[in-house]
Amino acid sequence: MHRFDYYTPSTVAEAVDLLRSKGAGGKIFAGGTDLMPAMKERGRHPKYVVSLKNITDLKGISFDAASGLRLKAGTKMSAIHQNATVQQHYPVIVQGAKLIGSLQTQNLATIGGNVCNAAPSADAVPALVVLDATATVQGPGGTRSLPITEVFKGPGQVSLAADELMTEIQVPAPLPRSAGYYLRHVPRKELDIAIAGVGVYVQLDEAKQTFTHARICLCAVAPTPLRATGAEAALLGQPATADTIAKAATAAAADARPISDQRGSADFRRLLVNALTVKTLTAALDMIRAGR
């Protein structure tokens, strides 16, 4: 690794001020699980590193039945998937967090880091997208909130300015009669990167017969995590049947914009999106009808 200056601010304001005053060429160090390999092997050489480890205000999980879940951006994946409240109210978030790297990775990696690393294959992101999460970022001019989907610009590219820091992710309270599910396809059992992934979040009417809310997010089949709006439209107001799900899966495959690379062809990825959409929607329906 090349040399870098190392700063450990103790507040968000101090971190933002460092990023502003030190200027270009800095990098925020959250869990380090993406940054360290990039600095060691992929030619990433920041002039300075701003560590978040001493900023206690960036860690923590809170839940309110009316306003929903708040995940501080520096909260580690293991803290999220081991949290009883998240397990109870947002199992789809747990599913994604448990898939990131190894257990060792999950003990370092943070939710804000997974979002801001902006990998199209990021496993923790589809759950946030389908749950309509918003992110709060703080910069020299103050704080602002944006829908999580607007964070992503392309592989590794986010809409945050260089002197802005993501501080928190808010997830709305779960809807009644709703459930989410995330699945990815990997050739191995563990420690792999999704060839394609699908996250869903759906709500049924009181009779549990009709889709009244639908969100689908596709993973690793576009430059960013991608809302499958065609597939969502194919569900909304339609009967919760295998036939409707099959139509939505066909639409999701059409919504995908995959490339061919060493991990899979574009055609294969579309087939995976179709199959994973059927599996995730079916599983979510089962959860709703079982009363979770």
Partner 1 sequence: MAKRTFALNVNGGSYEVFVEPNKCLHDTIREDIGFTGTKEGCGTGDCGACTVWVDGAPVTSCLVIVGEAEGTAITTIEGLAKDGTLHPVQQAFVEHHGMQCGYCIPGMIMSSAALLRDNPHPSDDEVRHAIAGNLCRCTGYTKIVEAIQSAAKA
Contact residues: partner 1, CB under 8 A:
1-6, 8, 29, 32-33, 36-37, 39-41, 49, 51, 53, 78, 101-105, 107-108, 189-191
Query: In the complex, what is the shortest distance from the CB of residue 6 to partner 1, in angstroms, rounded to a whole number?
Result: 4
Query: In the complex, what is the shortest distance from the CB of residue 105 to partner 1, in angstroms, rounded to a whole number?
Result: 6
Which residue lies nearer to partner 1 by CB, 101 or 199?
A: 101
Contacts 24+ apart (CB under 8 A), 250-253: 250/274, 252/198, 252/216, 252/218, 252/228, 252/277, 253/277
Structure tokens at 53: 């480890």
Which residue lies nearer to partner 1 by CB, 53 or 89?
A: 53
Query: In the complex, what is the shortest distance from the CB of residue 111 to partner 1, in angstroms, rounded to a whole number?
Result: 16
Residue 87 corresponds to which amino acid? Q
Which residue lies nearer to partner 1 by CB, 106 or 250?
A: 106
* Cβ neighbours, 10 Å, residue 13: 14
Cβ-Cβ contacts under 8 Å for 122 (sequence gap 6 or more): 114, 115, 219, 225
Structure tokens at 167: 């501080």
Query: In the complex, what is the shortest distance from the CB of residue 56 to partner 1, in angstroms, rounded to a whole number?
Result: 11
Which residue lies nearer to partner 1 by CB, 51 or 229?
A: 51
Q: Where are the beta strands (DSSP E) in 126-194?
A: 134-139, 142-147, 152-154, 157-158, 165-171, 178-185
Query: In the complex, what is the shortest distance from the CB of residue 35 to partner 1, in angstroms, rounded to a whole number?
Result: 9
In whole angstroms, give the CA distance from residue 157 to residue 224: 9
Beta pairing, strands 48-51 & 26-29: parallel
Nearest to 124 by CA among 257, 217, 57: 217
Query: In the complex, what is the shortest distance from the CB of residue 193 to partner 1, in angstroms, rounded to a whole number?
Result: 12
- CA 188 from centre of chain: 21
Query: In the complex, what is the shortest distance from the CB of residue 176 to partner 1, in angstroms, rounded to a whole number?
Result: 34
Query: In the complex, what is the shortest distance from the CB of residue 238 to partner 1, in angstroms, rounded to a whole number?
Result: 38
In whole angstroms, give the CA distance from residue 292 to residue 290: 5
User: Is the Cβ–Cβ distance between 40 and 1 less than 8 Å?
Assistant: yes
Which residue lies nearer to partner 1 by CB, 188 or 243?
A: 188
Which residue lies nearer to partner 1 by CB, 116 or 248?
A: 116
Tell the residue number behind the tokens 């999950």, with chain if given: 106
Which residue lies nearer to partner 1 by CB, 113 or 264?
A: 113
DSSP 239: B
Which residue lies nearer to partner 1 by CB, 10 or 241?
A: 10
